[in-house]
């Protein structure tokens, strides 16, 4: 008998908070289009997560469309994958409530990101900041996700999602797929160009530390020229050379060259030539993405159509899992009411 092979499911999300950085691109987003053929992919603009820190409403609304346009511009194809805005599918928040009841408080308070964000926003340590990873678990578990492509900084959150899934399955029988992470081997974490022992972050106060995907070519060039290196003058990777190593891994991701090839390429050439080459590789990668991004944003009807279709498709899938979970925990099904 013929059997249609079901592709494994991929889910990932990105927050619509400000512009995407080179770090977002290298650590996460660039891997997403490549997964579309072998997997059934769902990509979400996670606006619910964004409001765990204060957002300007008009900016958030604009940035949600911009984030979707950027994902499409990097090569996510709506005819292959589902792309949608998280708040359009209420099942995320509904499942999040249930999962929260299966997540120990202590697991949430020890999350690195919670601790960091609490320190950064001491005036607003809200409940959403604490339960952020439960909502992320709901995002993932709703779609029976097998694989979650994420930056290494989200590994602890994924681990929490796995724990919740296992705990729930243990109590109620097989319900959730226990997801695996998918981490890039090179460039999983792009470091600040100014303090290369710190992650590149869009909120960095030093504008030269972070490259944005929408930066103009001469801005990108300037930032790389100013990147902190060391006094050795040799292009090689090593724990003692975080700045140069960071530039090498960026160049490696952009060109596909290995560290050995890069070391050979710049043998005896000093950092000036090397930095210009790194900048050039980033500029060449971002140029077509930027053009497509602008084209998409100018075509609001198309963009909104993609998001409406994506939201409807995601909602159909999500409601099946939510009903199953509601039934397992013992909620009365609304269609079971005798009336
Ligand atoms: N927390 C992720 C981040 O900041 C974004 C995210 C939300 C996500 N839900 C997700 C990533 C589900 C993967 C899967 O990067």
CATH of the domain at 75: 3.40.50.620
27 CA distance to ligand 1 centroid (A)?
12
Q: What is the spatial distance between Cα 77 and Cα 122, in angstroms, rounded to a whole number?
A: 40
Residue nearest to atom 15 of ligand 1 (CA): 14
Pocket flag, ligand 1, residue 117 (CB < 6 Å): no
Residue 254 and residue 112 in one domain: no
> Rounded to the nearest whole angstrom, what is the distance from the C-alpha of residue 153 to the centroid of ligand 1?
10
Q: Which residues pair with 149 in a beta bridge?
A: 182
**Overall pTM > 0.85:** yes
pLDDT at residue 183, rounded to an integer:
87
* Residues carrying an active site annotation: 117, 199, 202
- Residue at 160 is within a domain: yes
In this structure, is residue 200 part of a structural domain?
no
Beta carbon of 52 within 6 Å of any ligand 1 atom: no
Q: According to the model, what pLDDT value does residue 185 have? A: 73
Q: Is 285 exposed, middle or buried (0-12, 13-18, 19+ CB in 10 A)?
A: buried
The β-bridge relationship of strands 82-85 and 147-149 is: unpaired
State which of 15, 18, 131 you would mutate to test the pocket of ligand 1, scoring each by most atoms of that ligand within 8 A of its C-beta: 15
Shared domain for 212 and 87, answered yes or no, is no
Within 191-265, where are the H helices?
Answer: 217-225, 242-255, 259-265
Interatomic CA distance for residues 129 and 2, integer angstroms: 48
Burial class (CB in 10 A: 0-12, 13-18, 19+), 135: buried
Supply the CATH number for residue 235's domain: 1.10.240.10
Same domain, 322 and 176: yes
Asked whether residue 77 is domain-assigned, the answer is yes
Statement to judge: residues 258 and 314 lie in one domain: no
* Apex 314 CA angle, 50 and 81, nearest 5: 95
Provide the number of structural domains found in the chain: 2
Residues 270 and 316 in one domain: no
Q: Are residues 260 and 112 both part of a single domain?
A: no
The CA 300 to ligand 1 mean position distance, Å, reads 25
- What pLDDT shows up at residue 1? 46
Q: Is 3 a member of any domain?
A: no
Residue at 177 is within a domain: yes
Same domain, 256 and 311: no
The answer to the question of residue 192 being in a domain is: no
Q: What is the DSSP string of 111-154?
A: -HHHHHHHHH-TT---HHHHHHHHHHHHHHHTTT-SEEE--GGG
Tell me the pairing of strands 180-182 and 40-45: unpaired
Let me know whether 228 and 102 are in one domain: no
Structural domain including 41 reads 9-187+300-336
> 53 CA distance to ligand 1 centroid (A)?
15
Domain assignment present for 135: yes
Tell me, using a 6 A CB cutoff, whether residue 47 lines ligand 1.
Answer: no
| Cβ(20)–Cβ(190) below 8 Å | no
Question: Does residue 74's CB lie within 6 angstroms of at least one atom of ligand 1?
Answer: no
User: Are 276 and 225 within 8 A, CB to CB?
Assistant: yes
257 φ, ψ to 5°?
-80, 150
Per-residue pLDDT, 4: 61
User: Residues with Cβ < 8 Å from 58, sequence gap 6 or more?
Assistant: none
Atom of ligand 1 nearest to the CA of 132: 1
Q: Is residue 101 part of a domain?
A: yes
Are 97 and 35 contained in the same domain?
A: yes
Which residues of the chain have a pLDDT value below 50? 1-2
Are 237 and 248 in contact by the 8 Å Cβ rule? The answer is: yes
CB 37 within 8 A of CB 8: no
Query: Which residue puts its alpha carbon closest to atom 3 of ligand 1?
Result: 14
Residue 42 Cβ inside 6 Å of ligand 1? The answer reads no
Note the pLDDT of residue 18: 82
Claim to verify: residue 124 and residue 240 sit in the same structural domain: no
State in Å: Cα 101 to ligand 1 middle.
20
Q: How far apart are CA 265 and CA 253, in angstroms?
A: 15
Instruction: Indicate if 324 and 234 belong to the same structural domain.
Output: no
Question: Residue 272 burial (CB < 10 Å; 0-12/13-18/19+)?
Answer: exposed
pLDDT the model gives residue 2: 47
Same-domain pairing of 306 and 289: no
Residue 49 near ligand 1, beta carbon < 6 Å: yes
Ligand 1 touching residue 11 (CB < 6 A):
yes
């Amino acid at each position: 008998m013929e059997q249609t092979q079901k592709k494994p499911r991929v889910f990932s999300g990105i927050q619509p908070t400000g512009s995407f950085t080179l770090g977002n691109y290298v650590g996460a987003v660039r891997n997403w289009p490549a997964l579309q053929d072998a997997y059934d992919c769902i990509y979400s603009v996670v606006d619910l997560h964004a409001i765990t820190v204060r957002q300007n409403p008009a900016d958030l609304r604009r940035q949600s469309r911009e984030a979707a346009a950027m994902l499409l511009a990097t090569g996510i194809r709506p005819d292959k994958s589902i792309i949608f805005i998280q708040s359009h599918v209420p099942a995320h928040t509904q499942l999040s409530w249930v999962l929260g009841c299966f997540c120990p408080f202590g697991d949430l308070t020890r999350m690195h990101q919670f601790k960091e964000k609490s320190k950064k926003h001491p005036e607003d340590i809200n409940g959403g900041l604490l339960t952020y990873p439960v909502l992320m678990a709901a995002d993932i578990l709703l779609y029976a996700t097998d694989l979650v492509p994420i930056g290494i900084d989200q590994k602890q959150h994924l681990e929490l999602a796995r724990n919740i899934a296992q705990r729930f399955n243990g109590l109620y029988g097989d319900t959730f797929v226990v997801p695996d992470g998918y981490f890039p081997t090179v460039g999983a974490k792009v470091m600040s160009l100014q303090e290369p022992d710190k992650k590149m972050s869009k909120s960095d106060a030093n504008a030269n530390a972070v490259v944005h995907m929408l930066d103009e070519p001469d801005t990108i060039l300037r930032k790389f020229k100013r990147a902190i290196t060391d006094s050795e003058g040799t292009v090689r990777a090593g724990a003692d050379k975080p700045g140069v190593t960071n530039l090498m891994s960026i160049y490696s991701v952009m060109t596909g060259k290995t560290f050995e090839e890069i070391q050979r390429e710049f043998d005896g050439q000093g950092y000036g030539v090397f930095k210009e080459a790194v900048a050039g590789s980033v500029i060449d990668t971002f140029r077509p993405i930027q053009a497509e991004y602008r084209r998409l944003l100018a075509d609001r009807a198309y963009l909104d159509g993609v998001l409406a279709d994506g939201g409807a498709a995601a909602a159909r899938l999500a409601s099946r899992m939510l009903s199953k979970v509601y039934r397992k925990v013992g909620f009365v099904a609304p269609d079971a009411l005798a009336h």
